[in-house]
Chains A and B, each alone.
Chain A
């Protein structure tokens, strides 16, 4: 008897996503917020200087001040948790679809591998093409174009990851060098597609050290999110598998 595995996977995705979002949110609240506050003060100085030079009428109205900075600090953690929950749901559905033949098998190594793939597809690759910028960078007039480019980068990351996996799985009977070269070639094509996307059109008038630190913390938050996600998702899967006698034998990889 096989009860459907989708709903337990969804539950695990939600728990793991919530925990991962909270971890990434608190990490960036502690480490990235001081940088963002500094970037905003620098931006205010820049626009004050512009105001002085061009007259008040032409001043750049950047932040509407709908919320105080401390509310936006809280908003960062809320945004991270909501994003974690949503990514957890999408992760679980993709995981269930890819592993539909034997969804309960080897939950720990699969969770690690799938999370690493998700990190590459939605975090690292789009992040390399369009690196995160601190507040003060970003023209309101180009935001629609930049969102389209960013979504295209995420789509190329996700589709590219599935394509690479397909090539790897389909060529399982071929000699290893053939298989590996085909995978490498596919990866190069995906990377080329990613970098053929147009550049971010906006200038980045930010101190180089602050910019580097901010981008490192951005990637670090992404990495922490997926690491916590992998550990919780895999751990919950392992616990469920060990409780089910039929699946327990398949909980860890066995090579007969």
Chain B
């Protein structure tokens, strides 16, 4: 097998791998942002996320906040 026939194939595989890697890191970043929003909702929200209806998230997760040491009223 000559180097000339192998090189383009390797290039394609490498660029495909780069595309996959970029896509996967974008998915991971989106997942991390969602995770931070979820943690905010459970541990920090004081009626901002569902402000029209009251402090529902805070009261529902109330015991969890106390238990895991998050500041609570």
Contacts and interface: CB of A to CB of B under 8 A. Distances in A.
A218 interface: yes
Interface residues of A, number: 57
Q: Report, as a range, how many residues of chain B touch the other chain.
A: 35 or more
A127 B72 CA distance: 14
A135 B63 contact: yes
The binding surface of chain A is classed by DSSP as: helix
Contacts of B21: 4, 6
Given A79-B63, A135-B66, A143 B55 contact: no
B60 A1 contact: no
Given A83-B39, A135-B63, A6 B73 contact: no
Contacts, number: 146
A2 B18 CA distance: 10
Given A6-B28, A138-B72, A221 B67 contact: yes
A217 B66 CA distance: 11
A132 interface: yes
20 contacts: A1-B13, A4-B20, A33-B63, A36-B67, A64-B55, A66-B56, A72-B62, A79-B42, A80-B64, A83-B39, A85-B35, A85-B38, A86-B39, A126-B69, A131-B69, A135-B66, A143-B72, A147-B44, A150-B70, A218-B67
Interface of B: 13, 17, 20-21, 23-25, 27-29, 31-32, 34-36, 38-39, 41-44, 46, 54-56, 59-73
